[in-house]
Chains A and B, each alone.
Chain A
Amino acid sequence: MEILGVFGSIDQAVGAVDKLLDAGFEETRITTLSSVPIPEGALIDSGYRRRFHRWTLAGGVLGAILGFSLAAGTAWLYPVQTGDKPIIAIFPVGIVTYEMTMLLAIIGTLLGMLWEMGLPDIERHAYDSELADGLIGILVCTDQEESRQHAAELLTAAGALRLRTDEVPE
């Protein structure tokens, strides 16, 4: 369950965050929605820890194996003599392995980032299109309807221009 309060600026949103924290809402259940990145701690501490780098690493390792198999493996399995070069030659194998490592590392970074962001996201969420015009949103996630109502009251009291929820409209 989500409730979103839309504010005109960061200064106004600060009051809302203070009220929510004072009322006992956990900082991990509060987040900001904005069209430009807000510096860490200006409104909330996002608690973000980078984890996608594991995907990058995994991609790199997989790419190295794949590249090595392509260059060295296929040459070993189906050897054809060319010039005086060895069948498994160090420089070509190195180059192909490197390229595949980088390719899968980049793809891994993309997939890891998307996984961390929770994208693609097709669920219904609280959102307001005018956030694109520079408005700041304070989003509160709750488990019960009463908490949500409480948060809504606090946001309104802090000066929210409007409220949005993730409920399906009637």
Chain B
Amino acid sequence: MSETNNRIKWGMVIDLDRCTGCGACVTACQAENNVPLIDAKGFAQGRNLHWLRIERYWEGTFPHVRARFLPMLCQHCSDAPCEPVCPVYASYHNPEGLNGQVYNRCVGTRYCANNCPYAVRVFNFFNPEWPQPLDQQLSPDVSVRCRGVMEKCSFCIQRIRGAKETAKLENRSVADGEVQPACAQTCPPGVIVFGNLNDPDSHVARLARSPRRLRLLEDLGTEPSVIYLKGGGHEYVG
């Protein structure tokens, strides 16, 4: 499906050279999107609900060990394997390149989670509860999902919609950098950059042309919209 230059294609660049693994993006995402909280026991059982996770890989042997951090989120693939397998169209492709998840349509077959090679989709195993006073900080722009529903990173679609509505009221197009997902907004070293990949002058499009660019599991042909920039140490040869 070719997209004209007039249409927006949302994309994200994550600079692995800058990532310190601090996890601020994870916390921001949880706060912005009403992601339920899981305790350590649930985590160990594989029930965690992180929309965005920091993957940590250890390289080398002692004493030359180093950790690599890989923020992993929904890649919003152009040829998403999770979309055709949903029997009820709860997972579908948005014209602006997002992989949408419709919570009130999801019946919970969990087929999409199986078919996601990045394993970024999470399932609500129980009805969420937020211990007080965290129940006061739920975002009104994002629905709270009940149990039995799949969810995942939405590129903060509520913020995208908000920016588009503001722009429409002011009779202009969305400016570069106007849409900031919670993770991009929060990241201290500026690892995450978000914008319109179809606009060649946008920050994200310029970064995406970097010689350090890399997409995960590219040989599977999923065509992700998240582009990583290689880095993380002087020994890394680009």
A80-B80 in contact (CB<8A) = no
Q: How large is the interface on B (under 10, 10 to 19, 20 to 34, 35 or more residues)?
A: 10 to 19
Say if the beta carbon of B92 comes within 8 Å of chain A. Answer: yes
* Segment at the B interface, from A24-32, A38-46, A81-89: A81-89
A84-B78 in contact (CB<8A) = yes
A84-B92 in contact (CB<8A) = no
B1-A82 in contact (CB<8A) = no
Find chain B residues with CB under 8 A from A83 CB.
77, 79-81, 83-84, 93
A80-B79 in contact (CB<8A) = no
A81-B92 in contact (CB<8A) = yes
Select from chain B the residue with minimum beta-carbon distance to A81.
Answer: B93
Bound Cα distance A81, B78 (Å): 11
Find chain A residues with CB under 8 A from B92 CB.
80-82
Binary flags per residue of A66-93, CB closer than 8 Å to B gives 1, else 0:
0000000000000011111100000000
Bound Cα distance A82, B77 (Å): 11
- Chain A interface main SS type: loop
- Complex interface residues of chain A between 122 and 150 (CB less than 8 A to chain B): none
Bound Cα distance A80, B91 (Å): 10
Select from chain A the residue with minimum beta-carbon distance to B80.
Answer: A83
Bound Cα distance A85, B92 (Å): 11
Say if the beta carbon of B214 comes within 8 Å of chain A. Answer: no
Bound Cα distance A100, B77 (Å): 33
Find chain A residues with CB under 8 A from B84 CB.
82-83, 85
Q: How large is the interface on A (under 10, 10 to 19, 20 to 34, 35 or more residues)?
A: under 10
Say if the beta carbon of B31 comes within 8 Å of chain A. Answer: no
Bound Cα distance A85, B78 (Å): 11
Residue in A80, A81, A83, A84 with the greatest tally of chain B CB atoms within 10 Å: A83
Find chain A residues with CB under 8 A from B223 CB.
84
Find chain A residues with CB under 8 A from B80 CB.
82-83
Find chain B residues with CB under 8 A from A84 CB.
1, 78-79, 223
B78-A82 in contact (CB<8A) = no
Find chain A residues with CB under 8 A from B86 CB.
82
CB distance from B137 to the nearest CB of A (A): 34
CB distance from A85 to the nearest CB of B (A): 5
Say if the beta carbon of B111 comes within 8 Å of chain A. Answer: no
Bound Cα distance A20, B91 (Å): 74
Find chain A residues with CB under 8 A from B78 CB.
84
Say if the beta carbon of B118 comes within 8 Å of chain A. Answer: no
Select from chain B the residue with minimum beta-carbon distance to A89.
Answer: B84
Bound Cα distance A82, B89 (Å): 8
- Complex interface residues of chain B between 43 and 82 (CB less than 8 A to chain A): 77-81
CB distance from A74 to the nearest CB of B (A): 11
A80-B89 in contact (CB<8A) = yes
CB distance from B150 to the nearest CB of A (A): 15
A81-B83, A82-B83, A85-B84 known; 13 new pairs, CB 8 Å cut-off, are: A80-B92, A81-B93, A81-B95, A82-B80, A82-B86, A82-B91, A82-B92, A83-B77, A83-B80, A83-B83, A83-B84, A83-B93, A84-B78
Q: Which residues of B contact A (CB under 8 A)?
A: 1, 77-81, 83-84, 86, 89, 91-93, 95, 223
Query: Can you list 17 A-B contacts (CB < 8 A)?
Result: A80-B89, A81-B1, A81-B95, A82-B83, A82-B84, A82-B86, A82-B91, A82-B92, A82-B93, A83-B77, A83-B79, A83-B84, A83-B93, A84-B78, A84-B79, A84-B223, A85-B84
Q: Which residues of A contact B (CB under 8 A)?
A: 80-85
8 closest residue pairs by CB, A with B: A82-B83, A84-B79, A81-B93, A82-B84, A83-B83, A83-B84, A80-B89, A80-B92
